Amino acid sequence: MGLFRAIVLGIVQGVTEFLPISSTAHLRIVPEILGWPDAGAAYTAMIQLGTVAAVIVYFWRDLVRLTQAWVEGVLRGAPFRTLDSRLAWFVLVGTLPIGILGLTFKHHIETSLRSLYVIAFAMVGLAVVLLLAERIAQHRRTLSEMGWPDAIVIGLCQAVALIPGSSRSGTTLTGGLALGFRREDAARYSFLLSIPATAAAGVFEMRHLVRSGEPFTGPDVLMGTLVAFVTGLAAIAWLLRFLRTRSTVVFVVYRFLLGGLLLLLLASGRLNPQPDAAPQAHAALAAGPVRE
């Protein structure tokens, strides 16, 4: 692949995994526009783990606190007594829809849904939904007010991200805004909810590396994963700061423009709707890959 290409794809993965613009779409679009072969699941599964590591490192205090509260609640027979224990359960329950649907529709996610037509329409479609969510959002609720219905609805929203181009962070953020949560709280929960889904997807898709015979520690793989980790950390920090004072309209505009440009290029025949290589999964449990 080459180190330059690995760096570019690592940056694309790290930045777009956490912004509501779909990492799956960009990892499919960027190589197509630059004339590169599709990286495929074997490579993208590994660099996806770089962004999983980024969100774990960034929220490690939260994860330790939630895990401790969950264990203590179970051992004491009061699993939902504290806010942290409830949030831990909400993350677990919210992960179930994307896990079940990801496995059920794995074949379609790995093949027909990777079409650039699907990605383009998903980019535009979620832009409309995100804009509507911003219009009706009250931005008043915090995570301390989250309940089971909220966890289930946002979990179902995350499952929508199995459609490439929709964006895992985009669908969950949209769900949180529609339910009245503050942008920063919706984003924080979106990041926490991403950990089980994207980690499971990355490990699940490692089978492609095993089948392909590619080394797990090759220089291209290590470089792409490292770059995805560093840029992922920066993207998380930037997005949380951004959403404290600004809306998601800039991402809505970006999605409209990119989706429209894709449709124009596809209509003119300048882009191939399907990857040249045999279709492979980018992340069956994480759209956009669940990712996103």
**What's the per-residue H, E or C state across the chain?**
CCHHHHHHHHHHHHHHCCCCCCHHHHHHHHHHHHCCCCCHHHHHHHHHHHHHHHHHHHCHHHHHHHHHHHHHHHHCCCCCCCHHHHHHHHHHHHHHHHHHHHHHCHHHHHCHHHCHHHHHHHHHHHHHHHHHHHHHCCCCECHHHCCHHHHHHHHHHHHHCCCCCCCHHHHHHHHHHHCCECHHHHHHHHHHHHHHHHHHHHHHCHHHHHHHCCCCCCHHHHHHHHHHHHHHHHHHHHHHHHHHHCCCHHHHHHHHHHHHHHHHHHHCCCCCCCCCCCCCCCCCCCCCCCCC
Closest CA relative to residue 166, chosen from 116, 127, 137: 127
Q: Could you give the CA distance from residue 286 to residue 34 in angstroms, rounded to a whole number?
A: 25
Pull the structure tokens for residue 265: 């290029």
Dist CA 21 CA 251 (whole Å): 7
Q: What is the pLDDT of residue 1?
A: 67
Stretches in the chain below the pLDDT threshold 50: 277-291
CA within 13 Å, CB half, 220: 14
- Is omega for the bond preceding 289 within 30 degrees of 0, making it cis? yes
* pLDDT value of position 159: 94
Q: Which positions ≥6 away from 150 have C-beta within 8 Å? A: 90, 179, 181
Q: What is the pLDDT of residue 287?
A: 38
Structural tokens at position 157 = 């929203």
- Cα(18)–Cα(191) distance, integer angstroms: 8
d(CA 198, CA 193): 9
- pLDDT of amino acid 40: 67
